[in-house]
């Protein structure tokens, strides 16, 4: 079996090391965001609607909505955000050797990309 790759140890090792650092840094950053979002959920009352009200407060205020609540599109965006950050948190957990259930985390992340 032949191949056309010109990849050698130095290039392969450097590419893998760079990808590893990038992934670890991204998952650590995502975990920080996860913890911060958990605080928002606790502060706001724990429902997607209440969190959307909190996260979209500047928009709600500027539009002078009465009552001051997030609309259904904003709540849906928060629901997607929550699914994506939970997927990232679970990837972080696997990185730190915590067992998680199987799921299509890539599909959850694609919704936010």
Compute mean pLDDT per 10 residues along the chain, 113 residues long, and list them. 80 93 95 97 96 94 92 96 94 88 83 82
pLDDT, position 1: 63
Is 13 exposed, middle or buried, given 0-12, 13-18 or 19+ CB atoms closer than 10 A?
exposed
- Rg, C-alpha atoms of the chain: 20
Helix, strand or coil, per DSSP, at residue 80:
helix
pTM to 2 decimal places: 0.82
Q: Are 31 and 89 in contact (CB under 8 A)?
A: yes
Distance CA 53, CA 65 (A): 11
> Domain ranges in the chain?
31-110
pLDDT, position 21: 95
């Amino acid at each position: 079996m032949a191949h056309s790759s010109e990849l050698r140890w130095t290039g392969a090792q450097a590419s893998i090391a760079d990808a590893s650092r990038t992934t670890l840094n991204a998952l650590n950053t995502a975990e920080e965001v996860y913890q911060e979002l958990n605080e928002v959920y606790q502060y706001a009352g724990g429902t997607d609607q209440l969190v959307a009200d909190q996260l979209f407060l500047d928009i709600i205020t500027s539009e002078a909505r009465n009552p001051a609540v997030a609309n259904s599109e904003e709540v849906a965006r928060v629901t997607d955000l929550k699914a994506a950050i939970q997927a990232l948190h679970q990837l972080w957990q696997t990185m730190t050797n915590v067992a998680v259930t199987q799921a299509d985390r890539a599909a959850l992340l694609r919704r936010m990309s």
